[in-house]
């Protein structure tokens, strides 16, 4: 698949690198310095290149939105027309100092994003784990028990695409339902952040749901 990365920081840089190593074509975009995008593309050791947001979006089968909530409007403006595109968002609607959610309970960042990009297919994915765990999960991909990763969205085709990419990274995708479930998924991320950054175990944290009694 062709994947455009909108926001090449901790999340976008690592996920883009993993997507490239998993065999996808990746365009890294939106960092403050072009040199950084070029370095990410070089070090991804796959089919990856640096580009502008509009180049990342142009032929993409999927876009990963991975910017701070305060940068969403800017990166979307730079990406141009994204109607018809699948947009995976890991962006959590945090306030400026990342101390709390600016949207919650009655809506979610993912739903507000979907209103901004009507005509695109928004899937909330990858936002529930810290960036620090991503390479470890990818490296452990062959192990029988994979960590879970919840995702949600309203359209089945785009959700299947998301589930495939989630598997490519090394997680077991857990379909949490329609996009409005992001209202629960996004606060859950703050719990994960608390455990990862304030707990004793360090930030390389993933989670796994178990259905007792379910026949495998």
Ligand X SMILES: NC(=O)c1ccc[n+]([C@@H]2O[C@H](COP(=O)([O-])OP(=O)(O)OC[C@H]3O[C@@H](n4cnc5c(N)ncnc54)[C@H](OP(=O)(O)O)[C@@H]3O)[C@@H](O)[C@H]2O)c1
Residues within the interface to ligand X (CB under 6 A): 7-12, 30-33, 36, 66-69, 71, 90-92, 94, 127, 130-131, 189
What ranges make up the beta strands (E) of 7-109? Answer: 25-29, 48-50, 62-65, 86-89
Query: Measured from the CB atom, is 129 or 161 closer to ligand X?
Result: 129
CB-based contact 115:90 (threshold 8 Å): no
d(CA 190, CA 92): 9
Query: At closest approach, how far in Å is the CB of 65 from ligand X?
Result: 8
Query: At closest approach, how far in Å is the CB of 37 from ligand X?
Result: 8
Which residue's Cβ lies closest to ligand X?
A: 9
Query: At closest approach, how far in Å is the CB of 57 from ligand X?
Result: 15
- What 8-state DSSP symbol labels residue 84? T
d(CA 136, CA 19): 14
Query: Measured from the CB atom, is 69 or 138 closer to ligand X?
Result: 69
Query: Measured from the CB atom, is 36 or 167 closer to ligand X?
Result: 36
- What 8-state DSSP symbol labels residue 7? -
Query: At closest approach, how far in Å is the CB of 174 from ligand X?
Result: 16
Query: Measured from the CB atom, is 12 or 153 closer to ligand X?
Result: 12
For 145, the token pair is 């028990």
Query: Measured from the CB atom, is 1 or 190 closer to ligand X?
Result: 190
**Residue 156 class from Cβ within 10 Å (0-12 exposed, 13-18 middle, 19+ buried)?**
exposed
Query: At closest approach, how far in Å is the CB of 75 from ligand X?
Result: 7
Burial code (b: 16+ CB inside 10 Å, e: under 16) for 185-211 equals: bbeebbebbebbeeeeeeeebbbeeee
Query: Measured from the CB atom, is 157 or 191 closer to ligand X?
Result: 191
Query: At closest approach, how far in Å is the CB of 24 from ligand X?
Result: 19
For 9, the token pair is 């920081």
Q: Which residues lie below 8 Å from residue 75, measured CB to CB, with a gap of 6+?
A: 6, 7, 30, 53, 65, 67
């Amino acid at each position: 698949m062709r994947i455009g990365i909108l926001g090449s920081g901790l999340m976008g840089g690592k996920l883009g690198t993993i997507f490239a190593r998993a065999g996808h074509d990746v365009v890294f975009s939106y960092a403050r310095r072009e040199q950084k995008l070029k370095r990410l593309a070089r070090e991804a050791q796959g089919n990856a290149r640096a580009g502008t947001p509009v180049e990342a979006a142009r032929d993409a089968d999927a876009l990963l939105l991975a910017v701070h909530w305060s940068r969403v409007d800017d990166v979307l403006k730079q990406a141009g027309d994204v109607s018809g595109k699948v947009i995976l968002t890991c962006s959590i609607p945090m306030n400026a100092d990342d101390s709390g959610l600016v949207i919650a309970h009655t809506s979610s960042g993912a739903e507000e994003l979907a209103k901004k990009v009507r005509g695109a297919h928004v899937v909330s994915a990858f936002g529930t784990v810290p960036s620090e765990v991503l390479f470890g999960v990818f490296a452990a991909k062959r192990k029988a028990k994979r960590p879970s990763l919840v995702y949600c969205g309203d359209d089945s085709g785009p959700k299947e695409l998301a589930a495939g990419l989630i598997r490519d990274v090394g997680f077991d995708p857990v379909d949490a339902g329609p996009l409005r479930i992001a209202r629960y998924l996004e606060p859950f991320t703050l719990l994960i952040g608390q455990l990862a950054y304030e707990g004793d175990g360090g930030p390389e944290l993933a989670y796994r749901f178990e259905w007792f009694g379910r026949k495998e």
